[in-house]
Structure 1
């Protein structure tokens, strides 16, 4: 399950985490965009939900220096020994450049270099090295974790997907359909974890769900990295109206142009049983860790949705 839950103060998450565990959920995964940071919700969960696995999906590769990032990862690994996974990714030019005033340069190389640095630092080694995108001089973690967490790489297209499989412990993917999964997994390679964030809304009010989903899809798939991803997946023609309208400044027309078939493939909706069946298709196609992200919508109460979509639900 994706955390934190929308509209629920962090201080009130304890009962939500406990119930998620009781319902059979195995993992809690955070994100980092314009809400909470990725680590704080998981730090609370480390204490409040001692039987759940925790993961970041994802922490941007640009918004923390290498040493600080290593400290944050090590602290979470110490707080939740053996049950924390660190997800790292480039994020997007919007978050990195517009919001954090940092150049979005050489994203592949930056991510690769951080994976290599973290391998050394989390292993307790003294790092004194010139990487391609940054330099670290004489850094050693004062509290290296007893159990080094797996490092997962957020990836969209072949280069980063292959990096996730070659130098990471697996890949984190999102905004793709179940039918896209085999193509993506093939690039990662065998024997690696594949985490997928899947947007879900257990509601049979199809028109309302599609309206909400279109706005969310429009906000994401117009970001250059996601646009390129869906071109690679073969949705260029279906999404051209979105991209053209967005570029022309007519966002209403752009969002309206998204075909129903694309909306239904990327945001799972319908009865709870239908949604769970669609999630199962992701797993059948190669996802090892499906992470549900509840689409906030009037008429769909989050806690009820969590219960309806639970692994133990009838």
Structure 2
């Protein structure tokens, strides 16, 4: 199991010490670093800036918002950065949710699986420097209307690599199966080793489909795992509870929150309902306090070093091929010692 560095997206501004984090990760032998975007900082600019100060570490997006750019624009950016970095780019894309897609990007959200499938086909065609022609339900290239002067084009930029790995962020079983069918990897957000068989079954369905790109032994699973070392388990859990409460309770409306569904499938449906009710009614502190310790421990490594070391084998034996972590340089060194 490899290690990756989670950089995420910014809050009010650039996070302090990020250059030192990246330098430490590369020195420690981390395989990759991963940026994100929602409706603030974008994923590509920090990756290019920080990538210029590294030599080996892979540059991944976790994730690029599918609705933020046309597929050809995403391909252009990835091909450009792949040249500048010497072939280190990994494209992670995700469909996000209706609040962000429709509320920020002004794009329709329905049928995200079909939209993702078309997007990936155009991405691959563009990166392979084919003349791009596509007629789908969600994307048509060239555009059939407008001035009526559009014609099929191919990239003037020759790719450094004819294929750049494309990973799909997915949480529901149908999305996970599609990641195995059309992707080079899968990016779970809240991965739990105890739910391993559920995800193995979903991936197996995708691998068995006609034309599947990969087999299980050459397929990446890149998941973010919060690691908090503290002698007191509850104190460690309190550092993660606000994040989980936000995603379970505040990301999406009732009935349209895919993160909520992940934990409900783990057996926490009643707890999720309570967290969501409290969060959406403005009682965020109570929502945070309502996140059970056992739920935190499903998706994170928390507590004394000895406890974390004891729990690590279940992560090594899981589907994860890369564990993506975050923290100060000292924390990254500690995590590296524990994991390796």
The TM-score by the shorter chain falls in which range? 0.7 to 0.9
User: Structure 1 98/211 Cα, relative in aligned 2: closer, same or farther at 3 Å?
Assistant: farther
Structure 1 residue 102, shift from structure 2 partner: 2.9
| 1:29 alignment partner in structure 2 | 34
Q: Distance in 2 between matches of 1:276 and 1:252?
A: 31
Deviations 1:24-43 (A, max 9, x none): 22211111125531112221
| 2:262 alignment partner in structure 1 | 229
Deviations 1:186-217 (A, max 9, x none): 31232321111112222234333333322111
> 1:210 aligned to 2:246?
no
Q: Distance in 1 between matches of 2:119 and 2:91?
A: 12
Which blocks of at least 5 consecutive residues in structure 2 are unaligned? 143-151, 205-215, 252-256
User: Structure 1 229/248 Cα, relative in aligned 2: closer, same or farther at 3 Å?
Assistant: same
User: Structure 1 181/145 Cα, relative in aligned 2: closer, same or farther at 3 Å?
Assistant: farther
Structure 1 residue 292, shift from structure 2 partner: 1.0
TM-score, structure 2 length as denominator?
0.81
Deviations 1:278-314 (A, max 9, x none): 45522311111111134xxxxxxx2221121125888
Structure 1 residue 156, shift from structure 2 partner: 0.6
Pairing 1:78-93 to 2, within 5 Å after superposition: 78-93=83-98
Residues 272 and 309 in structure 1, CA contact (< 8 A), matched pair in contact too: no
Structure 1 residue 254, shift from structure 2 partner: 2.6
Report SS of the residue matched to 1:100. coil
TM-score, structure 1 length as denominator?
0.87
| 2:300 alignment partner in structure 1 | 267
| 2:198 alignment partner in structure 1 | 183
Q: Distance in 2 between matches of 1:144 and 1:287?
A: 33
Structure 1 residue 51, shift from structure 2 partner: 1.2
Pairing 1:139-150 to 2, within 5 Å after superposition: 139-147=153-161, 148-150=163-165
Deviations 1:38-71 (A, max 9, x none): 1122213432211112211111111112221111
Pairing 1:46-85 to 2, within 5 Å after superposition: 46-85=51-90
Report SS of the residue matched to 1:201. strand
Structure 1 residue 250, shift from structure 2 partner: 3.2
Report SS of the residue matched to 2:42. coil
Residues 10 and 41 in structure 1, CA contact (< 8 A), matched pair in contact too: no
> Which of 302, 315, 330 is matched with 1:304 structurally?
330
User: Structure 1 70/28 Cα, relative in aligned 2: closer, same or farther at 3 Å?
Assistant: same
Report SS of the residue matched to 2:7. coil
Q: Distance in 2 between matches of 1:169 and 1:25?
A: 20
| 1:117 alignment partner in structure 2 | 122
Structure 1 residue 146, shift from structure 2 partner: 2.2
Report SS of the residue matched to 1:146. coil
Which blocks of at least 5 consecutive residues in structure 1 are unaligned? 295-301
User: Structure 1 16/113 Cα, relative in aligned 2: closer, same or farther at 3 Å?
Assistant: same
Report SS of the residue matched to 1:306. helix
> Which of 228, 232, 252 is matched with 1:201 structurally?
228
Residues 190 and 262 in structure 2, CA contact (< 8 A), matched pair in contact too: no
